[in-house]
């Protein structure tokens, strides 16, 4: 009789638990429906409280983006995606080829370049890419400035990759003989012997690329150059990604600039673009080499720029891609407009 009573109590308890769980799920469903309804109501009034300029004759077709790509930062992979999308999304991709691979333009060419890309309407919208330092358009007599984007990489990783690239090439053009072909000296041996190819001064590349065309930008270890690079990165670039998070960089561009990059994320995931231009026969440096390189003030400054860029990229990414669970997409609108 006692066992029957216990069984009855247990059954009642189970029923109560099931009822509680059911109502909790219903409450959660209703809360979710309420959030969705609240969002739809916001969107319903969105158009009336947001300013949309009257469309021009060309609209987004005037878009000009410059990717002043730093060597050995994964730039070929990103550009490959752009070339694959350009026909489908109806924009042009143009490579900037400067004599002798110079990274800085003469003053006259700075002016001509600025006039060319802003007034060459036949190729707009356009993505220009090339190994060229940041160019400030403020004093070059143009009415509308282009949008700058870029990628940055850990400075030692970039240097090691470039060191072996000059000797062994890459999988993008495997049969092309590089200028250090046949040199079997490892990066560790190079550092140990104090050879010029692995001199920390060779890491002074990302700072000047973001700093620009000023003479001080290209003096290794110049503090002003570092501060100017940080300023430009935040104030003159739409977004600067990091090589290790290429996918997120592409997704952000697709979100912000769909005119060019619509479908870029899916294409990158489903193609081989993430494996383009990998340096062949690259040997990771040992810990002793790493510690020696890190003693250099050049490494510290280049790494400071990288860490600065990484923190800023994480901030941008969080606002665009990493919204909290059950949160709604951010919108902005205007209200309390007077007089009516």
Phi, psi angle pair for 266, to nearest 5°:
-60, -40
List 45, 95, 131, 312, catalytic entry: 131
The CA-CA-CA angle for residues 301, 306, 308, to 5°, reads: 95
3-state secondary structure 69-82: CCCCCCHHHHHHHH
Place of tokens 């899916």: 266
H-type alpha helices, the chain:
2-44, 75-89, 107-119, 155-168, 187-193, 206-211, 223-235, 246-256, 258-261, 264-270, 287-294, 297-320
Beta bridge pairs of residue 65: 127, 147
CB distance 153 to 70 below 8 Å: yes
Residue 176: CB atoms within 10 Å: 9
Residue 146 token pair: 């282009």
CB distance 136 to 212 below 8 Å: yes
Active site residue 131: yes
Among residues 72, 209, 205, 64, the alpha carbon closest in space to that of 135 is found at 209
List 5, 95, 129, 213, catalytic entry: 129
User: Catalytic residue numbers?
Assistant: 129, 131
């Amino acid at each position: 009789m006692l066992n029957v009573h216990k069984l009855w109590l247990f059954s009642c308890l189970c029923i109560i638990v099931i009822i509680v769980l059911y109502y909790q799920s219903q409450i959660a469903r209703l809360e979710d429906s309420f959030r969705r309804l609240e969002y739809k109501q916001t969107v319903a009034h969105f158009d009336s409280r947001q300013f949309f300029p009257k469309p021009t004759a060309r609209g987004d077709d005037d878009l000009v983006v410059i990717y002043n790509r730093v060597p050995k930062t994964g730039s070929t992979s990103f550009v490959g995606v752009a070339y694959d999308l350009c026909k489908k999304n109806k924009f042009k991709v143009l490579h900037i080829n400067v004599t002798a691979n110079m990274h800085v333009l003469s003053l006259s060419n700075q002016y001509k370049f600025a006039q060319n890309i802003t007034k060459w309407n036949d190729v707009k919208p356009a993505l220009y890419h090339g190994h060229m330092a940041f160019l400030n358009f403020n004093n070059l007599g143009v009415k509308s400035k282009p949008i700058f984007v870029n990628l940055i990489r850990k400075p030692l990783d970039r240097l090691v990759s470039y060191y072996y690239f000059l000797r062994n090439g890459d999988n993008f053009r495997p049969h092309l003989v590089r200028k250090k072909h046949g040199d079997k000296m490892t990066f560790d041996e190079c550092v140990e012997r104090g050879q010029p190819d692995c001199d920390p001064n060779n890491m002074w590349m990302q700072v000047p690329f973001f700093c620009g065309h000023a003479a001080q930008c290209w003096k290794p270890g110049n503090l002003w150059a570092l501060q100017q690079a940080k300023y430009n990165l935040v104030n003159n670039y739409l977004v600067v990604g990091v090589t290790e998070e290429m996918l997120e960089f592409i997704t952000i561009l697709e979100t912000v600039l769909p005119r060019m990059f619509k479908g870029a994320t899916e294409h990158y995931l489903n193609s081989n673009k993430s494996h383009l231009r990998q340096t062949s026969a690259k040997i990771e440096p040992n810990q002793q080499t790493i510690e020696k390189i890190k003693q250099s003030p050049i490494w510290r400054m280049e790494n400071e720029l990288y860490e600065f860029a990484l923190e800023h990229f994480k901030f941008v990414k969080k606002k665009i891609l990493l919204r909290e669970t059950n949160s709604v997409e951010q919108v902005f609108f205007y209200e309390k407009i007077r007089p009516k």
